[in-house]
Amino acid sequence: MKFKFPLKNQLPPDLIRQCGYGLWHDEEYDKVSFTRKLGGGNYPRFHVYLQEFANYFEVDLHLDQKQPSYGVGHAHSADYGGEVVENEARRITQVISDIYSR
């Protein structure tokens, strides 16, 4: 699920950290993203990629259900929509809106 926010006085990585997300660096692909765990283990977890544009930034959110398995029959169990993801998108939107209104 993708949604947008205007760029204002804080950097997008700082904003998403204030939403409870931690930095995640995928060393294999050298990609930086952010995750928020839902339990004691690494999965399930919300996973966010940020992309900045001229006047706004985009949040690309999904829910990783389990660790990806690769090889024969590549499998990545993630939800890109649905009630749980929509609720998290609303929560992120509320937190960022509250920060912007300060």
Q: Where do we find the tokens 């699920």? A: 1
Q: How far apart are CA 51 and CA 73, in angstroms?
A: 30
Whether residue 27 has pLDDT greater than 50: yes
pLDDT for 74 = 47
Supply the Cα-derived Rg of the chain in whole angstroms: 14
- pLDDT (tens digit, 9 = 90+) per residue, 42-100? 899 999 999 999 999 999 999 999 876 655 544 568 999 999 999 999 999 999 999 99
pLDDT on residue 67? 78
- Look at the chain and report how many structural domains it folds into: 1
Residue 11 has pLDDT above 90, yes or no: yes
Domain span at 12? 2-100
Which domain CATH number covers 23?
Answer: 3.30.310
For tokens 């765990």, name the residue: 37
| Residue matched to tokens 């169990």 | 77
